[in-house]
Every structure is written in structure tokens, then in C-alpha cells.
Structure 1
Amino acid sequence: MAQAALAFAPEFGAEPSAAGHALQPAGAPTTAFERSGWDIGRDHARYGLTPPADQMLFGHPVRQGWDAGQPAFRRRTRPATPAVRQWLALRLQAWLRGAAFEDLQVTPNLLRQITVSHCPVTGERLTQHTGHASDGVIERLNPQAAYAAGNLAMISRRAQAARAGRDAQAALLTAREAEALPADDTLEGLTAAQWLRLAVLISFATPLPHAQAAALPLLMLPPNRVRVLNPVQALQVVLSLPFAGTAELPRLAPIAALVPARARPAFHVFMTTLLARRVAGGHPWDAAAMKTAMLAAWTDPLMQRRWQRLSLELTTAEADAVIHGATRAGLDGTPWRDSSFAQATEGWGLPVPQPAAARGAPSARTGLIALPGVERRASGGSRVRVGVAPAMVAGKGLRGVRVG
């Protein structure tokens, strides 16, 4: 974020001068809250934009920053792309709510990467800036965490309005209430199936008890850049993702060797069920059809029962170890990395769970993140490729890669 020249900030409460600008300050913003609003206003000026009218009262921190930025950027503003406008609006939204905003990784570039064409909750095609319920908006998944990378996803304004700030537990409870309604009826604008998808989406970025996370069906793959914090859900994605595309299936025997002996029968039954759903899903060269078929399979009670039998045989630490072992050995067929909980939630403002060996205890390592396929330069100049969009990546650093 731009470093503001606070000496140019007008005094809080100043009246406009005859030239139409606020009087020069007697001092800079005195609190962190005022300073953040000042920076937002100045960045609006940097991109040649005017903040919303209700933020333009004289003496308002956003107005102060905007007034200070006008002479500094009048002749050298930067292009105000849709991603920039969305970034400024998101910062302002966080500031007005008094929520933390992680400005090192949450950039216009990140917002471009998490933009999607269809709402993951309702399935409707998203529009932009029409004022309709179908407009795409960036939503913070875990309401207890900051506006930070990995905790943001694009959904429709209709889904955002229905959610109304609910966390994963509240969304799941609403889904159960909606199930009592006649088929296709809505509760607060969403059907029971849509409420359950919303609960699953929120759960990816929400630390949950092992048994509760294990009970959730994989009704969607985590959207790009969303971090999966619960090891059992990360394992669910790792095992399911290869069946949801056209790539060659991974070798299962080496992965089974990583599973504790007591859980291997359940592992083989579950993987056989996945394979059967893949065979029944249609032509293996049709990636879209395969993905649809595999996600639809999670609505089958048999599929869910077999997954829960496997997942509840494992402790959190054991699920984490399977992911870590498969990643290090390259057995999953995709470029994975695993990161610590602290790394995955850097800038989120969440407490770091302590590792424990007890069944269902939270793990301190697993963090799963979806990244697009991009090429980067590794240290030493070797070429590296991160993911294949939308690839699921787990790794020891938030930018960990497999060198090829």
C-alpha cells in the first residue's frame, strides 16, 4: 500500500478554503484508524478516483487523504482498472467495519486471480457492477479473521446478502433448517443445497473440530487461492481432485502405505467408490463433465458414509501426515506443498493451534491453497511451475513449488 505523506493531511474538522480544498493541517491523523482511512483516500487520488459521497465530509479521514493526494497525483494518476476499484472498495469496506486488512498480499493482482465467472454457492453466472443480485463480490470467508489472502472468495451479491455474516457453524445450521422445506424452496434467498455449499465454502477457511470437518461433503473444490485449514478436508481434496479431471489417476498403493494399517480397509473402500463414480461420470476426456460428476457424487449418502468411516479412523495428525508424505514423495500426481498453520494464516489474526497427538486434536501444520498455473524463477535461475489452474497446492511455504 502507498506510504502516505502525513504532513499534507488537513486538520480533522477543517473547513474548505476559498480554492475549494481543505485547509492545511495543524497535525497528522492521530490514530491508526484515522491513518488507515487517510491512506485509502490518498490511494483513491492516486488512481484518479473519488471516494463514495458519504466518505467525503470535511474532516473525514478518507476526505483528508483524498485532499492531500489531489495535488500530488493530479498529473500522474495510475490506471483505475476494475481490480483496482474492487481493491479500494474492499479496503474501505474493511475499514468501515473495523476489520483488519492484510495489505501485503491482498492486492489488485490477487483480486484478479480470485475472480470467477460463476458463483460457487448458487452456480449462477456473475455480472459486474450492474447493481443486481448476480453481481460478483469479494467475501471474507472466516468472519473472525482479517481480510487476508486465502480468506477471500468471490460469490454473488445474493449469496452474500443471504449469508449476512454467518460463520461456518451458523451457515450449516441454516442449511439443516432449509432441508425441512419443500424441494427447491428457499430460506432467506438460498435453497438447502446452496446453504450447504456456502457452509462448506466457509469451512475451508475456518478451523473446525476434526469430527465436524470430516462430516462435511466435498460439494465444491476450494476456489482459487482459498486456503483449506482443516487437515481432514485437505485430505478429502487431495484424494478426490485427481478423479475430477482428465489427468492420469495417481498410484494408490504408495498412498495407501502412508495410511495407518487400521484405516487401510476403509481407505481402499473409499477409493474404490471414487473410481466407480469416475467410471460412471462420463467420458474421461471431458474435464467439465468429470468434475461435475465427482462433485455430484458427494450428495450420495453411500459416498459420505464411506468417507466418514475413513476420516474418523484417522486422527488430525495422521491425516496431516498422509498429505505431507504424499506431497514429499510426489505420489498425488499434482504439484502440492504443505505449509504450517501459522504460514497459511499469516496476517489473519488467528491463534496458532498447538500440535497434539490425541484423536481429533488440531494440527499445527496443514494449510492447503489453490493457485493458478504460473511460471516463476526459483533461486539459482531454474524454471519452476506452480500448479495447473485451478491446482490445489499444499507446501512448506506459501510460495513453495516443485522444480521441474
Structure 2
Amino acid sequence: MTFINDTVDPVEAGRRLGHDLHRLSRIALQPDWPLAVCEGFEAARPGTRPHQDDRFVRKWLQLRLGALARGRAVAADVTVDLLRRLDVSHCPVTREPLTHATRLGSDASVDRLNNDGAYAAANLAMLSARVNRIKGGRGFDEVWALSRRGEPTASLTPVEWLRLAVLMLGPAHADRPLDVPALPLCAPLPPTSARTALQQVQRLLTLNASQAASRNRLLRGLLPACGSASAEARLRLLADAVHVGLKRLAPGDECWDVWLQPGLMEALAAWREALSDRAWAHTSWAAGQLAGGRPVDRRELAPWRLATRGYLPPAAGWAIARGATR
């Protein structure tokens, strides 16, 4: 994987973006674009333009343009292919169908899950524009607190706030993995987002425990890491509870709703408490191997620019628009 480094030049980034806007889209030159973007667009004018826009390319360009206008960094792993991978048919928070380019609140929108991080593959999810707007600058702690209220807030129900907190949990704790709360995994995680080890286990159980054969294969992968007969027994009980819970889901429920059933989180906590620190480390590694994931280290968090809250270094004149100052 290639990462953006600490010597990013916003002016050069703007020129590259302008070039891509001309070469890859039908978007017209806008007078309020940063000067560097306009320069790149003008420099590419002799080239041909596509006959029609690809919505993922257009979203990628608009994401970069919006980020540049706000001085936000975009990591090199944010690509058109990434946006295709993040694409979903329904908002994972409200479960409403997503639309495209309608200018309505139901339009698909790419959001940073950790507001203090840059646009990076492990920090992004596809939400509805309405949820993106409601989330705004709220951090994980505030979102989680809103999920524990007994009534809707800002038009989202407590369970919708909980789904949003689930999505934010991993990215919000990527640089501080200790003392992470355990939340019911009641929403599907984006395929590239940072996730906690416990979420990885919950996801594996959710996707594999419905059938006895796949549940047993999963147990064969996790049981050797448990380190004690007590922990092994509790993992079997947990897997059986998820199996039964999935069978009990009502029509219209999603598989992730199993973690909202009484007793499931208690069974998860009981198994976790039976693991020693060493056994938990082995289990986390085993779950990552089974899921195709890998640990996120500090080097990989560098493109998030957490020290500067996701902002680019300042560059004189980069935000000057054609004929005006932004």
C-alpha cells in the first residue's frame, strides 16, 4: 500500500486534481475553484474529455475537490476502486435506499468516520448525505451517548445512533486501542475500515454461525487460541447463542440485529473475560487471519494526519480562487 507523506504540496495536489477533472470527467471549469485546480484544468485543455461521467470517478474527483477546499488531506489509498468497494445500496445507519446525484438527503455520501483523521481507506464509509450532515463534527463519544438516550435526537433513533457509533468505533480508537468499549455489532462494517479485534470476532460469528458446518469451521480456527478449557467452553456457548439468535430474527431484520438480542453481549463479555492477555492476543491474530485483515500500526496511520486533525500543511496561495479570495 502507498501512503501520502508529510511533504505533500497542496498546490501540486490542486494542479493534479484540475488535470484529472478535465481528463476524467465532464465537470465544467468553476470560477470558485482554487487557483491551482484551475491551472491544472487549463493545462489539460488540449486533451479530450470522456463522452459521459462515471459516477465513481465523479465522486472521487468531488471528494478530492471538497477536501482540498477545506485543507483536508486525501491519502493515496483513496481511489476510484476504493469507492467502488465502499458502495452500498442502503445507508448502514438508517437502512434507507441510497440515491445518486438527486441532491436529496438520500444521496450516497462518503464520510470520514474519525473526524480528526484525513480521508483514508480505513477511515471511510458510504452513508446517506442526511446522516453525514447530522453526524457533522460529532465524535464517537457524543454519538455513543446519543445512542443511549431513550428518544430520537436530530431525527435519528437511538438504534440508528448506535449503528453510527459501531461504524465509528474502530477508526475513533485506531491510535488508542486500549479500553475500547464493546458495542453490539448491529451494522455492517465497511470492507476497508479500521475495526477492533472484538468487532472482527463478532463479524465472523455473524457471517458464519447460521449454519452448523460454517460455525464449526470457524470454531476450529478460534478455539486453539483460547488457551484454556473454560475459554473454549464459553466460545462454544457464544457461537451456539449466535446460531440460535440468527434463527430467531424476524422477517425484515438484518443478520447484524442478532447482537441486539438479550444475552448475546453478555455471552460475548463472558468469553472475553475468560481469556488471558496472551490468549486474547492470539485470538485477535487468529480472527484477523480468518477475516483477511491485519493490524493497523502507527506507520499506516501516518496518512490520517491525526496530529493536525487531518489537515494539509499550509501553502501560500493554494486557496485563492479565480478572481476572488476564498
The aligned counterpart of 1:68 is 43
What one-letter code is carried by the residue in structure 1 that aligns with 2:304? Answer: W
Aligned to 2:75, the other structure's residue is in SS state coil
CA contact (8 A) 1:211 1:312 kept: no
Q: TM-score, normalised by structure 2?
A: 0.79
Aligned to 1:102, the other structure's residue is in SS state coil
The aligned counterpart of 2:292 is 337
The aligned counterpart of 2:23 is 46
Aligned length: 294
Q: TM-score, normalised by structure 1?
A: 0.65
The aligned counterpart of 1:87 is 60
Name the larger-Rg structure.
1
Structure 1 residue 34: deviation in Å?
A: 2.1
**CA 317–294 in structure 1, closer or farther in 2 if over 3 Å, else same:** farther
When structure 1 is superposed on structure 2, of 79-88 and 47-56 the one drifting more is 47-56
Aligned to 1:55, the other structure's residue is in SS state coil
Q: What is the CA deviation profile of residues 36-80 of structure 1, one whole-angstrom value per residue up to 9, with x for unaligned ones?
A: 222222211222432444216xxx222222222213x2x365853
**CA 327–95 in structure 1, closer or farther in 2 if over 3 Å, else same:** closer
Structure 1 residue 235: deviation in Å?
A: 2.1
Aligned to 1:212, the other structure's residue is in SS state coil
What one-letter code is carried by the residue in structure 1 that aligns with 2:245? Answer: R
Aligned to 2:214, the other structure's residue is in SS state coil
Aligned 1:159-198 pairs, distance under 5 A: 159-176=131-148, 179-181=149-151, 186-198=152-164
CA contact (8 A) 2:226 2:232 kept: yes
Question: How many Å separate the matches in 2 of 1:199 and 1:219?
Answer: 10
- Compare relative contact order (CA 8 Å, sep 6+) and give the higher one, 1 or 2: 2
The aligned counterpart of 2:312 is none
**CA 209–32 in structure 1, closer or farther in 2 if over 3 Å, else same:** closer
Residue among 14, 26, 31 paired with 1:37? 14
Structure 1 residue 93: deviation in Å?
A: 1.6
The aligned counterpart of 1:226 is 193
The root-mean-square deviation of aligned C-alpha atoms, in Å, is 2.9
Relative to its length, the structure with more helix (as a share) is 2
CA contact (8 A) 1:231 1:319 kept: no
Question: How many Å separate the matches in 1 of 2:27 and 2:246?
Answer: 50
The aligned counterpart of 1:354 is none
What one-letter code is carried by the residue in structure 2 that aligns with 1:35? Answer: E
Question: How many Å separate the matches in 1 of 2:71 and 2:36?
Answer: 14
CA contact (8 A) 2:109 2:126 kept: yes
Structure 1 residue 348: deviation in Å?
A: 3.0
Q: What is the CA deviation profile of residues 298-354 of structure 1, one whole-angstrom value per residue up to 9, with x for unaligned ones?
A: 1123111121222244366533412434666xxx5xxx3342323764733459xxx
Aligned to 2:127, the other structure's residue is in SS state strand
The answer on 1:100 being equivalent to 2:73 is yes
- Structure 1, unaligned stretches of length 5 or more? 1-30, 283-288, 352-404
Question: How many Å separate the matches in 1 of 2:274 and 2:241?
Answer: 17
Question: How many Å separate the matches in 1 of 2:29 and 2:140?
Answer: 33
Aligned to 1:233, the other structure's residue is in SS state helix
The aligned counterpart of 2:214 is 248
